[in-house]
Chains A and B, each alone.
Chain A
Amino acid sequence: MLTVTWLVIALPLLGFVVLVATGRRLGEPWAGWLATAMVSASFLVAIGLYLDLLGIKAPVRSYSENLWTWLDVGGLNLHAGLYVDPLSMTMVLFVTGVSALIHLYSIGYMHGDKDFAKFFLYLNLFVASMLILVLGSNMVMTFIGWEGVGTCSYWLVSFWFERNTAAVAGKKAFLYNRLGDVGFMLAMFLTFENFHSLDYSTIFARVDSVSSLNITVICLLLVVAVMGKSAQIPLFPWLADAMEGPTPVSALIHAATMVTAGVYLLCRVHPLLHASPTASLVVAIMGAVTAFVGATIACAQQDIKKVLAYSTISQLGYMFLAIGCGAYTAAIFLMVAHAFFKALLFLGSGSVIHGLHGEQDLKRMGNLRQYMPITFITFAIGWLAIAAVPPLSGFWAKGDILDNAFAARPVLWGIGVFTAALTAYYMSRLTSLAFFGSDRWGQKHPVDPDPWAHHAEVGEQRAPVESPLVMTLPLWILAFFAATAGLLATSGNFSLSAWVDPVFGSSLFSNHLPAGDLWVLGLLDTVVALGGVALGIWLWVSRTDRPALEIPFLRNAWYVNEAYDTLLGRPSTRLAHFSAEEVDLKVIDGAVNSLAGLVRGAGRIVAKTQTGYLRNYALAMVGGVVLILAFMVTRMWWG
């Protein structure tokens, strides 16, 4: 079975190709079903691979395969190689599984869109790129996937590009990602310079022979890449704007195919991180600060998807905190649990938006539990899971990270616990505003509308309706896993740590907290979570307007966008204008045009010898003969 690993990538890719060729003809809903079938088949293959991998009893279960060689020059070997180990296997399983559900959901959500087939074509390519990223056995493969998800996210975020905001958001996502990509490329160059290879296995085998300074620089460059892709401080603003895409896209980006790439990459290169304590510390601090900042911003957002977006940024921060503490398994654990509950929350919010005909402003919702019971029940599971209320998955995953942080970096643990309270609070605020309280969706501007949120068209204020089965079915499935993913924390042969730990081996931070401490920490987490939930409900169930808690500083996301705009945006726009109007037009175009003119002029002169007369051609030939003979004469005398 492992020999057909390539099928996992090939199936969604095939879906993409088929949809490119025939998508328009297939139309709705067949294009959607085809795409869903391809990703589902990929998921089934992944399960087969998983069972095979379980059968391998080596210290590190793994399988690698070189599909073919692209290029082999001057010591640079570029292979299309695949590498399957418990780490990549875990990624493949939840990427394909969650993506399949999101595909299914999209069939309902995108109903009636004029570019229905195109949407699924992008989705399939998105998933295929992510799988290339995950399964690649070398940095180049990872980079191809890395760029692939970047490009697909650009297309999908700006899918409704007729809306200016969507087009701008797509560009923004692309630019921030490009900034990160520069880091990735530089890291690759440096890696090749120092390790003379880009294959992970070779790199890791040579870690000891490379100076720690070089490894630190490589790691920090990779961290820059991760900042872009996983929306960490300071490159996080794009993720909030990426909400402009259709909601399934948000779910895909947040849960399965995009932002987790950064977490995966850092886990993949764990031997390098392990060899560089400095880089690990940077990652931990970046994670903790991002978690905190993201959570504070989420507290004051009014657009339902924006809250979730900042919440993702914050949760990713937790994962990087874990990685920075050497607790890779904990990071993976939260990533998997987060994939379930965040996909659930996004799809649930999509269901809400769908039911409210496009309304996204929390303050114009309310009491939806009466109208959308399934959405409410499933959403509530997601809400309590992310708030880390026991015994749902979030409690175990986040608790795992916090325990490790407590043992490794106590200061950052403090930030983490405070952020956990904030998380419980803002999610409760969201749920209270959307599903409890009074019906506000029918009224005209009950409170000041969020200028950034999308609103339903005027006259669209019909009663909300529950979504169709294709949309609620994925909600149920995801809710089930969001509730039960905590079982992965059990000790035993099928626990996550028994499965993934061998991959990290000695890089893994081993925390030896006494059982008593663990109980106390767990209790503390529970109190914090319940306290946050209670506070959120108490403050927001009956009131929709508390300006003291929604200060502009947080509503505007710490003014990071404005800061970028002032510090970078405007100067570079001016620079761009200068370049375009002065440098490009006069200097570069001038040079290029005169060079082109020169070349073309030369061409014209040469073309003039092409008279069409046979005798001239023969003359030219004879001339050539004479010249070559003359040269030979020189060879004879002076050669």
Chain B
Amino acid sequence: MTHLAATASTIHLPHVNYVSILPILIMMGGALLLLLLSSLLRRIISTGVCTAITVMTSAAAAVAAIVQWDQVLANGAQTTIAGAVAYDGFSVLIQLLVPLALGLTALVADGYLKREGVVGGEFQVLAMASASGAMVMGAANDLIVVFLGLEILSIALYVLAAFNHRRAESGEAALKYFVLGSVSSAIFLYGIALMYGATGSTNLAKMAEFLARRAVLSNGLLLAAMALLLVGFAFKVSAVPFHMWSPDVYQGSPSPVSGFMASVAKAGAFAALLRVFVSSLATQRLGWQPVIWVLAALSLLVGAIVALNQQDVKRMLAYSSINHAGFILLGVDAADARGISSALYYLVTYTIMVIGTFAVVTVIAGRQDRATGLLEFRGLARRQPVLALALAILLLGQAGAPFTTGFLAKFNVIEAVVLTHGYTLAVIAMVSAAVAAFFYLRVALTMFSPVGEFGDGPDDDVPLDPAALVGAATPGAASGVTTVPPRAWSAAMPGIDELADAPPSEVVEARGKVPVPPATWVVIGFCALFTVVFGIYPAPLVDFAQHATLLFI
């Protein structure tokens, strides 16, 4: 793009290979079409129709991506549209993954919107717009295009976070996300500017070329640029210490949106991060790798450890997603072909698992997303065994249990790091996986333990006893993220001694079966089956991730 500016007097339109951006065009087109329809039609379009349009758009985009896949395999990777867009296996995988995630989210959101009585197509419009942003990030081969995708993705997400306007927490989450997101965008943009200063281009290929020719190791401008770009990405993938927003935002946002945020936003950001750093800035590895190392280690540890104390499942999942980000960062840290394919494999499996998990949370939470405390899951296995089983599978998958996709995902990233001699990081990752297994199993155990009997002795601080950690938190768990009481969440965490004789919660006993809309069943079933089937038979998925290589590596 930049070289166009030099010859601005006559505008040369670059040749556009439309197939290379077809999925993005379809996605944006779907968003615009729905927007147009909902503003032109006199009657409000029913949620079902909006969902259908979204799902069909996602399907069309996914089909386009499959066409692309064949083309890339046949013709090889290339850049198009004046080098601003990369057209390789890596980008195609993102073009496929994001519509899949969007389609699943739309199906979950269908039930959610009907339950909350929200009408109109805005939710789906925003979701499609946001997804197209993530897809742009996956294909971007120019920092400006990365930024463009980032903003398309984020701005729609800010609104989605606020979507439940009847809940104060939802608005608060959106505001926090927006303010902090703006700061990070500004930092990221500043990083782009510095990078332009250091290399004379924002095009990734040209940057790489420039850096390869001149071995600039002590260029302050370049180092600062990398630092700022990293901060921007770290914020989007919610890596520690840029994670502070995510627990509040995940908890405050409507549950389907949290799932979308955890999957699509992360997929887009990681895709761009991998492309910018592992591919274009590969020569500057000594500069950025230590930072990734620290980000990964901190995310792994903080995500796992803080999740232990959470009483709210959505909040716990936020920390768990921080932990997952740490794992994916392992692949970035390895910074070779194996690292990339393992990170991609992780992204794919994690996306499916997290959407499925949030789908279950959506139905459990009930109206206004109120019931997200750990207690609400107590006895679920007795009330709705299939739902509990599905959630158990998804949680075990996230914990990395064998015979789920999560096992091989964790195995691969750790293997990639070990092969590049990152033993310390590998040990940290394994320890954090062990700690993380605890809080996933805690939810699973809670589901399978009967209602109404717990806290029967002073032994309650045995680590693996969910009863010790549940309880007494109910009042706090429902009273939202408000700016007025600081420490709202940590205050809700009672000391172990207080828990020893916590009474059985009557709230829980009163719960009956939660209704699960058919579309949500489809999503939950798909995600659980995906997790198990590809856990037992991983070959196709692994192959896919291995073929989705980057253009330059």
**B180, A614: Cβ atoms closer than 8 Å:** yes
Please tell me which stretch of B37-45, B55-63, B286-294, B391-399 contacts chain A, meaning at least 4 of its Cβ atoms lie within 8 angstroms of it. B286-294
**A593, B490: Cβ atoms closer than 8 Å:** no
Residues of chain B within 8 A (CB-CB) of A620 are 241-242, 244
Tell me whether A604 is interfacial, beta carbon within 8 Å. yes
Give the contacts of B205-256 with A (CB-CB under 8 A). Answer: 217-220, 223-224, 226-228, 230-231, 234-235, 241-242, 244-245, 247-248
Give the contacts of B273-310 with A (CB-CB under 8 A). Answer: 286-287, 290-291, 302, 305-309
A616 to B481, CA, bound (A): 15
Output the least CB separation between B242 and chain A (Å).
6
**B490, A604: Cβ atoms closer than 8 Å:** yes
Give the contacts of A31-72 with B (CB-CB under 8 A). Answer: 68-70
Q: Provided the pairs A593-B461, A624-B241, A624-B242 are in contact, do residues A612 and B224 lie with their beta carbons within 8 angstroms?
A: no
Q: Give which listed residue, A70, A608, A629, contacts B227 with CB less than 8 A.
A: A629
Tell me whether A519 is interfacial, beta carbon within 8 Å. no
Give the contacts of B532-553 with A (CB-CB under 8 A). Answer: 537-539
Q: Provided the pairs A612-B248, A612-B488, A628-B291 are in contact, do residues A606 and B180 lie with their beta carbons within 8 angstroms?
A: no
Give the contacts of B116-139 with A (CB-CB under 8 A). Answer: none
Chain A, residues 609-624, CB within 8 Å of chain B (1/0): the string is 1111110111011011
Output the least CB separation between A383 and chain B (Å).
47
A600 to B219, CA, bound (A): 43
**A610, B489: Cβ atoms closer than 8 Å:** yes
**B179, A614: Cβ atoms closer than 8 Å:** yes
**B248, A621: Cβ atoms closer than 8 Å:** no
The B interface is mostly helix, strand or loop, or mixed, namely helix
Residues of chain B within 8 A (CB-CB) of A602 are 305
**B490, A607: Cβ atoms closer than 8 Å:** yes
Q: Provided the pairs A606-B305, A618-B180 are in contact, do residues A612 and B486 lie with their beta carbons within 8 angstroms?
A: yes
**B308, A621: Cβ atoms closer than 8 Å:** no
Residues of chain B within 8 A (CB-CB) of A629 are 224, 227
**A593, B463: Cβ atoms closer than 8 Å:** yes
Tell me whether A75 is interfacial, beta carbon within 8 Å. no
Q: Provided the pairs A612-B482, A618-B179, A624-B231 are in contact, do residues A603 and B309 lie with their beta carbons within 8 angstroms?
A: yes
Tell me whether A596 is interfacial, beta carbon within 8 Å. yes
Cβ-closest chain B residue relative to A627: B241
Give the contacts of B95-118 with A (CB-CB under 8 A). Answer: none
The A interface is mostly helix, strand or loop, or mixed, namely helix
Output the least CB separation between B478 and chain A (Å).
15
**B486, A600: Cβ atoms closer than 8 Å:** no
Output the least CB separation between B161 and chain A (Å).
14
Q: Give which listed residue, B220, B234, B242, B481, contacts A636 with CB less than 8 A.
A: B220
Residues of chain A within 8 A (CB-CB) of B489 are 607, 610, 612
**B231, A608: Cβ atoms closer than 8 Å:** no
Q: How large is the interface on B (under 10, 10 to 19, 20 to 34, 35 or more residues)?
A: 35 or more
A592 to B465, CA, bound (A): 13
Q: Give which listed residue, A593, A604, A614, A633, contacts B309 with CB less than 8 A.
A: A604
Tell me whether B513 is interfacial, beta carbon within 8 Å. no
A596 to B464, CA, bound (A): 10
**A611, B187: Cβ atoms closer than 8 Å:** no
Residues of chain B within 8 A (CB-CB) of A618 are 179-180, 183
Residues of chain A within 8 A (CB-CB) of B155 are none
Residues of chain B within 8 A (CB-CB) of A596 are 463
Tell me whether B25 is interfacial, beta carbon within 8 Å. no
Tell me whether B457 is interfacial, beta carbon within 8 Å. no
Residues of chain A within 8 A (CB-CB) of B490 are 604, 607-608, 610
A593 to B179, CA, bound (A): 41
Residues of chain A within 8 A (CB-CB) of B461 are 593, 597
Q: Provided the pairs A73-B415, A607-B490, A607-B493 are in contact, do residues A592 and B463 lie with their beta carbons within 8 angstroms?
A: yes
Tell me whether A25 is interfacial, beta carbon within 8 Å. no
A613 to B537, CA, bound (A): 46
Q: Provided the pairs A68-B539, A612-B489 are in contact, do residues A600 and B245 lie with their beta carbons within 8 angstroms?
A: no
Residues of chain B within 8 A (CB-CB) of A597 are 461
Output the least CB separation between B390 and chain A (Å).
14
A381 to B187, CA, bound (A): 90
Residues of chain A within 8 A (CB-CB) of B227 are 625, 628-629, 631-632
A628-B291, A633-B220, A635-B223 given; name 6 further pairs at CB < 8 Å.
A607-B306, A612-B482, A614-B483, A621-B184, A625-B227, A635-B286
Chain A to chain B contacts (Cβ below 8 Å), 20 pairs? A589-B462, A593-B461, A603-B309, A604-B309, A607-B489, A610-B244, A610-B247, A612-B248, A612-B486, A612-B487, A614-B179, A617-B176, A618-B179, A621-B244, A624-B242, A625-B227, A628-B291, A631-B291, A632-B224, A639-B286
